[in-house]
Amino acid sequence: MDSTDRGRGGSRGEEIQAAEREAARQRLLAQAEAERIPVEETTRALPDRRWRGGR
């Protein structure tokens, strides 16, 4: 994923953009990991059927 095409005439601007994209990707992954809730701390969701009104 982080291969650069230096030999194929890639411009410096494209290299900078690729580096910025990779840095943003790493920030998002780090943020997602920090906000992740371990499965042990979650509860099983049960459907709320009160809205159906079928009594």
pLDDT > 90: percent of the chain: 44
Cα 43 to its chain centre, rounded Å, is 23
| Residue 29 to residue 39: CA distance in whole angstroms | 18
User: Are 18 and 4 in contact, with CB atoms under 8 Å apart?
Assistant: yes
* 3-state SS class at 44: coil
| Residue 8 to residue 18: CA distance in whole angstroms | 15
**pLDDT value of position 37:** 80
Amino acid at 54: G
The span from the first CA to the last CA of the chain, in angstroms, equals 56
pTM of the model: 0.51
